[in-house]
Chain A
């Protein structure tokens, strides 16, 4: 019988611990598949964050380093300076990248550090059970904005891709989503492009991936996908913010 589908060797056999309906698993798989298809799995070094994906060093089959909260871009910088010809990526959530690690991501971009950041934005702190994130939408209820995020009290969401796109060292910035087959396949293309940008030593690249958190959003997986499409995409439009014309 012809085998039409198999697990990617970019991932280990370790079962994911993610909640049902969480899209981290899809993102992991896309990154792993891209590494295999580009034949860079044996060269790549990844950096795990603090957050729900803290232990994705157990899932990715490439060499992995676990970093302190928000510091993944700095850790990746250290790795990349030692192994300048090998792909280095970070995998970070919105608390990690857009709150505690804001300085690290901005300056990695400003240095044009030849690394790739995969930024999973689900508008909430997942691991600590549903606190407000920098990317939480106005009106969104979280455990620390129990009456809905009020701009007068909690301020506004940060659009990270748009912000980083103003930095010259950031040569490729795209926001994608993993809510349906079409977007997933676009996300995979973006991930591959980011790795190619890095291979060609053009500068810093980031792919922001809109992601769901059914558990902490208090929605079932399908409703979560709808909320991502209706609410999140309004605040965080998909598209290429920098490097759209890059031929790599």
Chain B
């Protein structure tokens, strides 16, 4: 590891992508993530890659589709309204089983909403957003260092499963500066891509990349294959961080920025004599349901408190996992506001009744 340097989250994403072997980037400007594109515009020149400023987010994701079909490690980045536009492409990428990395530096909605941080795209990211039965792997970093680690991981996972991997950040993570230390060299897990288009060279049958299957049995076979793949991802690549959950009385569930804020509350609660733990999903899909189920089964755990920068989205997955065994409370802020430690402590005191 190199020494720690102070860098902006958005720029770290771009640098991490380049270190992970991404040489093709397609994007469209939107606050609060445009620094990624600016960085790519400068850096891609050094590494003989390409950055194309597309005419729209729709065009950008379709350029990603083309570059992925052509065998490249490729990325696009945007923020909420732009990600809505990209949903068409996400569905096609899933159907054609292409590896791609997409970053969503979430801002608050709905509509044009605002440019401040939010986590209101959880449903869209984890439950689809585009049409059809498909899943994207969704990673939720909580620090600038993790933006680096998980961006590199995103490229490896995308290639491993031929899937779209989304990094779900927010305006806080994208805009903030924090120290980051890079590895001297990345472990780039290169995989064979015997499906990518590169010209037949008159030596093999032509290859096609497609998401259309007119025959119902063919399409069902594709769907079965996708579902089997998704079950494998769930088994092999669910990531979660558990903090102080042993004999905790209240367990906070939170991801990304809301988990950062919550983390410091654990100690404050301890001072008040209330034992609070935290379960932080790092993969939002696959969702770490088992970790939550196990916690819900523990006698010491009396209740859960889900904290998000939205009106209660991951809350539904937490409740599904808890399955009625324990009450699940919620604290959320919207509009670009962040919950304060004070608010969280107050909520914990109310729940604990002291």
Contact = CB atoms under 8 A, between A and B. Distances in A.
- Does chain A touch chain B in the assembled complex, meaning CB atoms less than 8 Å apart? yes
Nearest to B73: A82
19 contacts: A42-B203, A48-B210, A55-B214, A61-B200, A63-B197, A63-B198, A64-B197, A66-B209, A71-B65, A78-B62, A78-B64, A78-B68, A78-B74, A81-B24, A81-B52, A82-B70, A103-B56, A103-B58, A107-B55
A55 B212 contact: yes
A57 B208 CA distance: 6
Interface in A22-62: 41-45, 47-48, 54-55, 57-58, 60-62
Contact of A79 (B60, B67, B208): B67
Given A45-B197, A83-B70, A62 B26 contact: no
B71 interface: yes
B206 A12 contact: yes
Interface of B: 24, 26, 50, 52, 54-56, 58-60, 62-72, 74, 88-89, 92, 96, 197-203, 206-212, 214
Contact of A66 (B60, B72, B212): B212
A242 to B, nearest CB: 20
Contact of B70 (A54, A79, A106): A79
A63 B52 contact: no
A67 interface: yes
**Interface bracket on A:** 35 or more
Interface in A82-110: 82-83, 86, 103-104, 106-107
Q: 9 shortest A-B CB distances, which residue pairs?
A: A78-B66, A74-B62, A78-B67, A42-B202, A75-B66, A82-B70, A66-B210, A63-B197, A107-B55
A42 B63 contact: no
B207 A63 contact: yes
Contact of A81 (B55, B67, B206, B211): B67
Nearest to B68: A78
Nearest to B89: A68
B206 A71 contact: no
A67 B65 contact: yes
* A interface majority secondary structure: mixed
Contacts of A75: 62-63, 65-66, 69
Interface centre among B66, B198, B199, B212 (most CB of A within 10 A): B66
A127 to B, nearest CB: 12
B78 to A, nearest CB: 15
A224 interface: no
Nearest to A80: B66
A81 B50 contact: yes
A76 interface: yes
A26 B52 CA distance: 35
A170 B198 CA distance: 25
Nearest to B49: A81
Contact of B208 (A64, A71, A86): A64
Contacts of B96: 66
A79 B59 contact: no
Contacts of B72: 82
Interface string A159-183: 0000000000000000000000000
Nearest to B63: A78
